[in-house]
Structure 1
Amino acid sequence: MFKLDTPLARMKAIASGLLLMAAALYVTALELAHAQPVFASYLKAFSEAAMVGAIADWFAVTALFRRPLGLPIPHTAIIPRNKARIGTNLGEFICTYFLSREQVLAKVGEFDTAKRLAEWLSNPVHATALSNLSLRLASHSVGALRDERVSQFVRSTAFARLEQIDLARISGQLLEVLTDDGRAQEVLEGVLDQIDLMMQSEATQKRIADLIAAELDILRFNIFGKEISFSGVAGTWTSDKLVKRISTVISEVNEDPEHELRKHFDEQLLALVAKLKDDPAFRLRASQLRAQLIQHPALHSYLTGMVDSVVDWFEADIHSDTSTLRQQLNAGVLKLGEALNEDPAMQSWINEQVLALAGPMVERYRAQIGDYIRERIEQWNEEELVEQLEAQVGRDLQFIRINGTLVGGIVGVLIHVGTQVFVPG
């Protein structure tokens, strides 16, 4: 018994039913040949042509997927026998007409990646989802630091990396970059200004006066039998004079680009940079300091405690209903989306970068996509391939059989009429 639980099976039943109906009409025409010869002749012409059309189209449709009736008829089972060629042609067709560089770039340009990204980020639901995902990933990564194996690996890797760093040379290069193009003089001016502000502070002046007074406390005089100390007065006076002198010097240096102190500062700085970069003694001393620092137990203890504290705080925060990190991430994502949505220049830059990236990616992976399609079809089991293709297009192909039956019958009648009219009986 046939199962009609799929659209394909139902269409096959309809097409086969029409063939059987044509056969039944043919038998009826034979039975009516003596009683109703004219009507029977037309009915016979219709049914004969309908059966021929139905069988011919059944053969054609079936031959696409398998051998009709299992017979080894040439040029049948076309799809299974040519699946390698079909895979190659299909891959080339898709790569040529769907994945060409121009077509993909045009579609990417129409997509407007930056605008869609801005709208997506500006949605509070998306911002929350992205923040939660980020925190889950971060929680897993940070939580792994509690495992002693991971912690030991991180420490050993970090210290091994520190041992390879040339602190002296890096410090020299960094100092050279930071003070290049006259920036050293700007640094000097900033330092002198801060010193001047500090010296003008009443607290600093009192501290200086107290220190000077303490040093001068031994200077005591006996006048009229009374011991008198000038330490307090001398300290205050000296402090005031010192502050004024320092302020004067700072003003002179800041106002005179050619001041001797500026030149001396540059010379000393250049000498320090040269020593840090090239002086073996400086580099040796830096290496010794680095080794002492790395081997010091306090550093290991500090780093371990710091990592544990960070992990504790992080885990406590993300599990809190009022998580600061989650709030900040949500606000940051929304702000980023709003800023991007209001910045056409940034949107244009993002779209340009996407287009610049898409072109090489298309060229790189297009051939691989074609190869994948070919290999996938070649690896398909023939029965599986036929089943999948027939499930997709087989229902529509049954209309060929139906149309073949009906059109064949009509053509048969037309031929019969033409014969009656144009061929003398």
Structure 2
Amino acid sequence: MTTAEASTIPSLQRSKRFATIALIMAVVTWLVLMVVAKLIPEYVWLIHILMLGAEAGVVGGLADWYAITVLFRNPFGKMPIPKFMRDHTEIIPRNKARIAESMGRFVQENFLSPQVVEKSLQSTDLSLAIGQWLAKPENNAQVTQVIQQTVPKIFEFVGQEQIGRFIQNNSVQWVRNTQINTLASEMLRAVLENDFHQDVLQRGLDVAHEWVMSHPEETRQLTRTLFKELGVWKLAKGASWIGIDVQQRTIDSLVERVESMLADPQHPWRQKIEAMGQQLMLQLADDESSASQRLNSTKDALLDSPQVLNFISGAVVILCDAIKADLLKADSGIAHNLRVAIQQVGENIISNPAVRQLLNERLSGIAVNLSDQYSEKVIRFISERIHEWDSREMIDKIENEVGGDLHMIRVNGVVVGAFIGLVLGIIRALVDVAL
């Protein structure tokens, strides 16, 4: 027995008991009044009025009992009764199929139709509600906690090796089927148009300048190695015999170049780097260019390498282990960053009307498409479940939910019938007196 059934059954039993007591009281009152009419003939006119009220109460109670009973069962049992009366008993069990279809159609027309869904979402700022919910610390903490508890269990259930193989197979196939030159061209375009390359170059020059100035010995060692690789070390060493320090002059020249680039945003070398980036972007946008073909060939060669594939699988396993270990910690860094990110997403949604409008349009479109595609399946599912119900089970469910109110109608039938009977008795008495 479910909680709902357990809470409705006492109410149903109480209503049945009240209705039965009311009907019995009306019957007893009617019988008593008939006896009293014989014992006190001088007040027979008053007793007839009361008796008419009791009779009407009995009739009303019995009529409502019959009307409510035939909804669920046949009150006559195996008694021979006319066919037209038998055909109008057990109304709910007999019409179970029609009820199932009607309930399904009602849900579809009033809750799941694309028009209703779209109209409902148009009057609701769903993205604002989502943003406000995510922005609350207790809510984003709850979401983070669910993720923190669920992800390690998923890793344990599936296994890091299986995840690695799945990612390897699917990602490798996707990359193999993708001409990455176009992707690389678009990424380079985004970098150049937003001057990200200038920021990277500026930061790189700062780091290089600082390192050279703070590590003079290491810098000289690097230049010595460079000279040896170029085959000019002996010449540089020979020049030092006549007082020319080629190494230091090279270092000083390099530092001077770096400082000039740092000081001048329009430095020729910066512009040359910009031009090279623009040229490379245009070449990668062309599938037939040599740069695109070299990039795609290199990609295919890497994907055909067992070492690269093994590295991908191993990296995924290591990453999964690291994520799992971190999430299992009470002070998980991933969980903390995730909670902060969720809260920031909620706050950004709240503060950005344009984003909310876009999200509402997308969510509305998704909901309308889902309702259009799956409403029939939902309705069919509801109807099939109702069809599968046993008639006795269906009657119990409905009677447990609404039977209490239905049986209180029986009480009302007795009371209203008695009142109407009294009114009619008074009217008859007045007519008798008048005539």
Structure 2 length normalisation: TM-score? 0.70
Cα deviation, 1:148-168, whole Å, max 9, x if unaligned, reads 565556556666677x468xx
Paired residue for 2:95?
Answer: 82
Contact 1:18 1:402 survives alignment (8 Å) = yes
Q: Equivalent residue for 1:318?
A: 327
CA contact (8 A) 1:205 1:243 kept: no
Task: Report whether the alignment pairs 1:33 with 2:40.
Answer: no
1:18-97 map, 5 Å: 18-37=22-41, 38-39=43-44, 40-70=47-77, 71=79, 73=85, 74-97=87-110
Where do residues 148-297 of structure 1 align in structure 2 (5 Å cutoff)? 151=164, 164=176, 170-171=180-181, 174=184, 178=188, 211=227, 214-216=233-235, 229-230=241-242, 232=244, 277=288, 291=301, 294-295=304-305, 297=307
Measured after TM superposition, the shift of residue 172 of structure 1 is 7.8
Unaligned runs of 5+ in 1: 221-227, 249-253
How many residues are paired up?
407
CA gap of 1:178–1:318, structure 2 versus 1, over 3 A, is: closer
In 2: Cα distance, 1:416 partner to 1:217 partner: 135
Counterparts of 1:326 and 1:339 in 2: how far apart (Å)?
20
The one-character-per-residue Cα deviations of 1:24-70 (angstroms, maximum 9, x if unpaired) are 22322332333323434334323332222222221111111111232
Cα deviation for residue 15 of structure 1 reads 1.9
Correspondence 1:132 to 2:145: yes
State the alpha-carbon separation in 2 of the partners of residues 22 and 363 from structure 1.
Answer: 56
Q: 2:127 aligns with which of 114, 118, 123?
A: 114
Q: 1:56 to 1:359 in 2, by over 3 A?
A: same
Q: Secondary structure at the match of 1:68?
A: coil
What code does the residue aligned with 2:101 have?
Answer: T
1:110-139 Cα deviation digits (max 9, x unpaired): 442222222222222222222222233333
> Structure 1 110/415 Cα, relative in aligned 2: closer, same or farther at 3 Å?
same
Please give the root-mean-square deviation of Cα atoms over the aligned residues, in Å: 5.1
Note if contact 1:105-1:359 (Cα within 8 Å) is conserved in structure 2.
yes
What is the distance in 1 between the residues matched to 2:416 and 2:257?
116
Q: In percent, how many aligned pairs have the same letter?
A: 24
Structure 1 residue 81: deviation in Å? Answer: 1.0
CA distance in 2 between counterparts of 1:80 and 1:285 reads 72
Structural mapping, 1:370-381, within 5 Å: 370-381=379-390
Question: For residues 235 and 390 of structure 1, do their structure 2 counterparts lie closer, same or farther at Cα, with a shift above 3 Å needed?
Answer: closer
Query: Is the 2:61–2:411 contact (alpha carbons within 8 Å) kept by the matching residues of 1?
Result: yes
Query: Structure 2: how far apart are the matches of 1:82 and 1:126?
Result: 46
Within-5 A mapping of 1:291-310: 291=301, 294-295=304-305, 297=307, 299=308, 302-303=311-312, 306-307=315-316, 309-310=318-319
Q: Find the residue that maps to 2:39 and give its secondary structure.
A: coil
SS of equivalent residue, structure 2 residue 38: coil
Are the aligned partners of 1:143 and 1:311 in contact in 2 as well (CA < 8 Å)?
A: no
Q: Are the aligned partners of 1:170 and 1:277 in contact in 2 as well (CA < 8 Å)? A: no
- 1:398 aligned partner, one-letter code: H
User: Does the 8 A contact of 2:128 with 2:350 survive in 1?
Assistant: yes
Residue pair 2:70, 2:91 contacting (<8 A) in 1 also: yes
Write the letter of the residue equivalent to 1:349.
L
Q: What is the TM-score normalised by the length of structure 1?
A: 0.71
1:251 counterpart residue number: none
Structure 2 spans left out of the alignment, 5+ residues: 1-7, 261-265
Deviation of 1:354 (Å): 2.0
